[in-house]
Chains A and B, each alone.
Chain A
Amino acid sequence: MEKLLELENVSYSYQDGKEKNKILEHASYSFGKGKIYAVVGASGSGKTTTLSLSSGLDKPDERKVLFKGKDIQEIGLNKYRREDISIVFQSYNLIYYMNALENVMSALEIAGIKRKDKKEYCLSILEQLGLSKDECKRDIRQLSGGQQQRVAIARAIAREVDLILCDEPTGNLDEKNSLDIMNTFLDLAHIHHKCVILVTHSPTLAKMCDVSLRIKEGKIEAKR
């Protein structure tokens, strides 16, 4: 398996008053392309921390996170987030003053992707994910949760990166929408050969993933 992302003995803690809470302690794991990974664990176990460190939203206290064999801090966390990964959040994290299409297009602009057919390209992704043209141009706050999450996923897909990190992407959605979204991620991993890492509380979704990882006592353990 081609290693895409590696957590190499990563430790992370945070200060809570006078106490220092250790979240991850020498946690290691390697993620490869073409697979979908579920990260599960109790609340506060370090699932989101793992995702934050993997996505360069935060830095580990010790050791490093490697992307394609290179320390992401050496790549530059901003550059890494801009060019190498996409993140999908539970609360969608769309820019509220832009419509669906503008949200997707702005992600391309930030990534510095220049396409002549940018608008058509973004529209086609949104339509593939089930949004109509009208919905694409509607105020983002007038879309349902499922639609907003689809926009967020469209934004992630449009950037054409190898690694997609998702933090509870179906946490705010009903079962049907959750399954639709999950199928999209499965397609991204299995058809488009992406590496998808999914933080979830849902055992059902975890079971659908190729690999299920549990964070326990600061370590990453593979369940399956």
Chain B
Amino acid sequence: MIKNALLSLKKNIGKTILLFVIIVVITNLVIAGLSIQSATQKSMDQIRSSLGNDVTLSVDFRNMMKNREPGEAVSNETSLTTTMADSLKDLKYVESYNYQISTSADSDSISAVETESDNSNNQQDTNKPNDQSEQASNQGDFTISANTTMEYLDSFTNSNYTLTDGRLLTSDDANTNNCVIETNLASDNDLSVGDTFTITTTVNDETIIQELTIVGIYEIQTTNEIGGAHFNNPVNTIYTDLSVGQTLTGSSENITSAIYYLDDPENAEAFVKLAKKQSDIDFDTFSLDANNRLYQQNASSLESMQSFAKMFVWIVVIAGSAILCLILALTIRNRYYEIGVLLSLGQSKVKIIAQQLIEIGLIAVVAFVISLGTGQLTSHYMGNMLESSSSSNVMQMDQKGDQPNDNQQKTNKQTKENFLGNMMQGPSNQELDVSITGENVVQLAGVTAAICIVSIAVPAAYVLRLTPRQILSRKEG
């Protein structure tokens, strides 16, 4: 069969070249589409990964504002509870979690660090980390950030804050009065690890006094975070165990937010879906934020590029198959003769189709190999073309649009912006990485094989439905 296929290809050299050129064009376009698709997917995955693997459950004040009647006050009574948060902590994808209470407190035993801008109403708060409070319930001198654990706090994991002495709080510190403070606060008040001090707050006209023991001292690395009013100044942030926050707010049930750390950032959407399906939480009142807004802002252009590439591949595959089918259908008229002869000799229909498949397969294999080289050029050309057409809005961070909408907004937003900015806008990354991957090669092989099979099967089915006598009687026509 292979020998016959080669003989046929050699004898019909004109048709062979025509089919070869068409298949080269199709495979080049397909590989360009596939590589753009995988490049955009890769970039989208990078964006998703860069946004972290955390999903935050909190009160959706934005939605509550949207749904209120004009003039109606938004209730401050709505609170997230540990019961609600617990309902999600054992779901699939969740590796660990942190419950957080943000509040503020005063102190008679220590003084807050003062800055020149304390009295000015500046805008520094947009740079504030979210593992501190932006929404202190009563604006004392100190921000209290009470957590189940400090292990995963963004400010520490991304090294914006570094531990200079002692240790961070972990789940082993549950129900203790241990705390971690900033180095300036410590030095101003002549405090070190092992020292104790007290903070006070007022709940329902009742003054609560809480003694805290320092187990760790941290330093803020990014200078532009330092500033703001007392409670807004990150140097005046005191990290405590969740139980301290519950004592200071007078509620053992309410928390400000719950952050779930997933096994993989790409599972964020799946986790949100699962949570909405399996929990009783009212998601009109509470939101599960996987940084989708930030993701959408950055990935929307990539998504449209990806859907274009997907559509492009489909169009090329369908149009390519149709063109090949048409050419083979037109040329199969010349093959009536051959098919009739082979059938009269007793050759099976399967073997007749197989020979034709081998013929087009041999052409496709050569075209495929060539396309692996030329496809790279086509991919780059198409990638550049698509990028330049959407470069004005692709991957640009809308800084204004990223203003935190609540106290769960990502606190290391700036870092991420920088990362995304670098990734998308840096000179070395201005082009999509449209290099052909192993997966692309496998996909292209599959697509090419499918096109060949369809383009042979359709005309062959048309001929082979006839009896050998009918085919032989038509060959003259």
Residues of A participating in the B interface, judged by any CB pair closer than 8 Å = 52, 55, 57-59, 78-83, 87, 89, 91, 93-98, 102, 106-107, 110-111, 155
A80 and B346 contact, CB distance less than 8 A: yes
Which residue of A has the minimal Cβ distance to B350? A78
* B459 CB-CB contact with A under 8 Å: no
* Contact flag A110-B346 (CB < 8 Å), given A57-B467, A93-B340: yes
**Whole-angstrom distance between the alpha carbons of A91 and B341 in the complex?**
11
Specify which of A59, A93, A95, A102 is in contact with B472 (CB 8 Å cutoff): A93
Residues of chain B from 338 to 370 with CB closer than 8 A to chain A in the complex: 338, 340-349
Closest beta carbon of chain A to B165's beta carbon, Å: 87
Which residue of B has the minimal Cβ distance to A88? B344
Specify which of A52, A58, A81, A102 is in contact with B346 (CB 8 Å cutoff): A81
Specify which of A58, A83, A95 is in contact with B469 (CB 8 Å cutoff): A58
**Whole-angstrom distance between the alpha carbons of A94 and B345 in the complex?**
10
Q: Which of B8-16, B138-146, B152-160, B373-381 contacts A (4 or more CB under 8 A)?
A: B8-16
- Chain A residues in 8 Å Cβ range of B250: none
A110 and B345 contact, CB distance less than 8 A: yes
Residues of chain B from 395 to 442 with CB closer than 8 A to chain A in the complex: none
B338 and A57 contact, CB distance less than 8 A: no
B345 and A81 contact, CB distance less than 8 A: yes
B344 and A87 contact, CB distance less than 8 A: yes
Specify which of B7, B340, B347, B348 is in contact with A102 (CB 8 Å cutoff): B7
Q: Chain A CB within 10 Å — which of B338, B342, B345 has the most? A: B345
Q: How many A-B residue pairs have CB under 8 A?
A: 64
**Whole-angstrom distance between the alpha carbons of A32 and B149 in the complex?**
100
Q: Tally chain B residues at the interface, Cβ within 8 Å.
A: 23
Specify which of A97, A110, A111 is in contact with B8 (CB 8 Å cutoff): A97
Specify which of A57, A97, A155 is in contact with B468 (CB 8 Å cutoff): A57
Q: A57-B472, A81-B343, A91-B476 are in contact. List 17 more A-B contacts (CB 8 A).
A: A57-B343, A57-B468, A57-B469, A58-B467, A58-B468, A81-B345, A81-B346, A81-B468, A89-B344, A89-B472, A93-B341, A95-B4, A96-B337, A97-B11, A97-B12, A106-B4, A110-B345
**Whole-angstrom distance between the alpha carbons of A52 and B322 in the complex?**
35
Contact bitstring B448-477, A, C-beta under 8 A = 1, else 0? 000000000000000000011100100010
**Whole-angstrom distance between the alpha carbons of A98 and B341 in the complex?**
13
Which residue of A has the minimal Cβ distance to B338? A95
- Chain B residues in 8 Å Cβ range of A78: 343, 346-349
**Whole-angstrom distance between the alpha carbons of A94 and B476 in the complex?**
13
* Contact flag A55-B347 (CB < 8 Å), given A96-B337, A97-B10: no
Specify which of B7, B8, B344 is in contact with A81 (CB 8 Å cutoff): B344
- Chain B residues in 8 Å Cβ range of A81: 343-346, 468
Q: Chain A CB within 10 Å — which of B8, B467, B469 has the most? A: B469
- Chain B residues in 8 Å Cβ range of A98: 4, 7
Which residue of B has the minimal Cβ distance to A107? B345
Q: Chain A CB within 10 Å — which of B4, B344, B467 has the most? A: B344
Closest beta carbon of chain B to A220's beta carbon, Å: 19
Closest beta carbon of chain A to B363's beta carbon, Å: 15
**Whole-angstrom distance between the alpha carbons of A55 and B472 in the complex?**
13
- Chain B residues in 8 Å Cβ range of A94: 341
- Chain A residues in 8 Å Cβ range of B343: 57, 78, 81
15 contacts between A and B (CB under 8 A): A57-B343, A57-B344, A57-B467, A57-B472, A58-B467, A80-B346, A82-B345, A89-B472, A96-B11, A97-B7, A97-B8, A97-B10, A97-B12, A106-B4, A110-B347
Which residue of B has the minimal Cβ distance to A56? B468
